[in-house]
Amino acid sequence: MAELQFREAIRAAIDEEMAQDEGIFVMGEEVAEYDGAYKVTEGLLDKYGPKRMIDTPISELGFAGIGIGAAMNGLRPIVEFMTFNFAVLAADQIINHASKVRYMTGGQVEVPIVFRGPNASAGQLSATHSVAYDAMYAHFPGLKVIYTSEPEDAKGLLKSAIRDDNPVLFMESEQMYGLKGEVSEEEDFTIPIGKGKVKREGSDVTVVAHGKMYHVAKQAAQQLAKEDVEVEIIDPRTVKPLDIEMIVKSIKKTNRCVIVDESHPFGGLAGEVGYLIQREAFDYLDAPVQRVTLPDTSAPFAKNLFDEWLPSANEVIDAVNTVTYRK
């Protein structure tokens, strides 16, 4: 196993796929000459040249549309957004065009494109730079949404996303680009889109968490283990399609569930997963499903308020104590 930073794992996936398919190119703000705002694409301009590593103006709507047009004509663009908070400007192209072209042409035109970049909060960047968009894009038919928590998942799933014939939104976190983790050295390593992973086995409660929240859940599980509460953590890795079968299988074992989500409570992933659990596993539950989310308010700037705003390990522990009737 190789130990790679998150950014290195993403770069390896892009590099390996570009090496085997000349139709793949990368475009976005600062992806070429500057090596990417977070150095994800470092060295790729020297290796693949300016025709396949393309710096764009600050115009998310424009270069997202160019990417979609290229994909409709047989290429496989990887469009980097400096953050998905800026990609709101490109939402019309993603939601109204990329997601619907295949449907509206009766399957005659495919749109094999990846939109990738940081999602959700990155510390004290205030209200307009701290939104989790995975649930919003997952709402729309025709889009696949991935939000990984560890380098190996990022590499394996990004390679699958690039090969997919549908538009895929691949979400990362500014705060995890330096995170190191073991990554498979298996030749042509990929992970299927739509398959979750049991990241920690346990028998007392199932905790579903993805992206940055996986690491919050992991901290909570380590604390709870000291009190003989064994948490099973499931990282769905893919928001849509969601591996609900894996979640239900775990609940049939633990009979309790907490969902940790970096979205606001109304209409987020936690709300959807909670509904699916009551539909598929109601008879196996010994307690109502609990969720830990952001409050229904935008991100504050002040550090003390931001720390209160972001879901914490202590909130996860409180939710676990609720479903296990320990408080």
In the chain, the amino acid numbered 202 is G
Q: Which long-range contacts (CB under 8 A, 24 or more apart) does 190-193 make?
A: 190/156, 190/157, 190/159, 190/160, 190/163, 191/153, 191/156, 191/157, 191/160, 191/237, 192/160, 193/144, 193/146, 193/157, 193/160, 193/161, 193/164, 193/168, 193/238, 193/241
d(CA 67, CA 111): 9
Is 129 in the active site? yes
Catalytic residue among 42, 129, 215, 315: 129
In the chain, the amino acid numbered 224 is L
d(CA 115, CA 161): 10
Catalytic residue among 16, 17, 29, 60: 60
Is 8 in the active site? no
Rounded to whole angstroms, what are the CA distances from 248 to 82, 153, 273, 282, 311?
A: 36, 21, 10, 10, 24
Element (H, E) at 299: none
**What residues have CB less than 8 Å from 69, skipping those under 6 apart?**
none
**Full DSSP string of 264-279:** -STTSHHHHHHHHHHH
Name the residue among 52, 44, 33 with its Cα closest to residue 11. 44
Q: Edge to edge, what strands does the sheet with 231-235 contain?
A: 197-200, 231-235, 205-209, 257-260, 290-292
Residue 158: CB atoms within 10 A of its CB come to 28
Active site residues: 60, 129
